Amino acid sequence: MRIATWNINSLRARMDRVLAFLERHEVDVLALQEIKAKPAQLDLTALEAAGYEVAAHGLNQWNGVALISRVGLSDVRTELPAVPTWPEDETGVVEARALGGIVGDGLRIWSLYVPNGRELEHPHYPYKLRWLEALRAEGARELAGDAAAKVALVGDFNVAPQDDDVWDMDFFEGKTHVTEPERAAFRAVVDEGFADVVRPEHPGPGVYTYWDYQALRFPKKEGMRIDFVLGSPAVQKAVTGSFIDREERKGKGASDHAPVVVDLEL
């Protein structure tokens, strides 16, 4: 089974790219983030004609996640238990940042769009940390029920766990994505039994998944590694290969993220 994750930065704007990507790489399951649409706003005709089932979760023109599968899709869940609301007051809602489903032979896959955090003094920063704690708790719950469970936590984590996951640590001084609390929250998910299954085959530095549209970051190779496939022990053992499709960041109308692809023998 070939799975992939991609922050698409608007599915409606890049449906043609998604269809071409699925065909070119023969992807079985694609997790998308930032679809930026309500499900009713999406024209899924071409995906369905290509043999894919689609589950999408979006509340407005922001955020939004989806799962696209040609190997079955069941037990779809649209939020993590105990996830905080935003804003974190009586006006808050649970944002469309998580969508989980079972695909293939019992693989539970979550498409995740972790909050950005914005600025260190912004309320979005502690919200991000609490959101990651909810993810850690769900991962722990999954494996506590069955240590051999096949679970993949995939998506845009908005955290660069290591210094070589960004092009210049000095540039990120005083900024989000690289702070110790964020990295500790990421490590807490890993410590529950979920490992980055791509890094062993593609270590840094310079191995990025995101390049800002501004300041010519992509041609300057000034990127960040913030998109991950974290697998449970059973998924870790099943990995047979992986790659980051940097070519998808090129050309007119590209997303600012590149897809991360993993092959599994389950």
Span 121-127, mean pLDDT? Answer: 98
9 is in an annotated binding site: no
34 is in an annotated binding site: yes
- HEC profile for 207-247? CCCECCCHHHCCCCCCCECCEEEEECHHHHHHEEEEEECHH
CB-neighbour burial class of residue 13 (10 A; exposed 0-12, middle 13-18, buried 19+):
middle
Which domains are assigned to the chain?
2-264 (3.60.10.10)
Question: How does the average pLDDT of the chain come out, rounded?
Answer: 98
Sheet with 195-196: list strands edge to edge. Answer: 74-77, 98-103, 107-113, 151-156, 227-231, 195-196
pLDDT for the residue 162: 98
168 is in an annotated binding site: no
182 is in an annotated binding site: no
Sheet with 2-7: list strands edge to edge. Answer: 53-57, 65-69, 29-33, 2-7, 260-264, 239-244
Pairing mode, if any, of strands 195-196 and 227-231? antiparallel
7 is in an annotated binding site: yes
157 contact partners, CB below 8 Å, separation of at least 6: 112, 114, 186, 226, 227, 228
pLDDT for the residue 210: 98
pLDDT tens, residue by residue, 61-90: 999 999 999 999 999 999 999 999 999 999
Catalytic member of 113, 127, 208, 210: 113
In angstroms, how far is the first alpha carbon of the chain from the final one?
Answer: 7
Whether 177 is catalytic is no
pTM above 0.95, yes or no: yes
Alpha helices in 32-123 (DSSP H): 45-49
Q: Which two tokens stand for residue 201?
A: 């085959």
Whether 124 is catalytic is no
Q: Which two tokens stand for residue 196?
A: 């980055």
Span 14-40, mean pLDDT? Answer: 98
- Distance CA(192)–CA(236), nearest Å, equals 13
Residue with tokens 């979550």: 110
Whether 210 is catalytic is no
Catalytic member of 156, 165, 196, 227: 156
- Distance CA(208)–CA(175), nearest Å, equals 18
